[in-house]
Amino acid sequence: MFQVVQIYISWRERPVQAPKLQLAWFKRVTVPVTNPNTRVQVYFEIDAMSMALWFPDGWRVIPGVVDMFVSGQQPFQKRKVPGSSMYTSFEILGSHYIGKL
Sheet with strand 53-55: strands edge to edge: 53-55, 58-61, 96-99
* Position 45, amino acid: E
CATH superfamily of 2-99: Immunoglobulins (2.60.40.10)
**pLDDT digit string, tens, across residues 44-87:** 999 999 999 999 999 999 999 999 999 877 777 776 666 678 89
- Taking the model in full, what pTM does it have? 0.82
Mean pLDDT of the chain: 87
pLDDT for 3 beyond 90? no
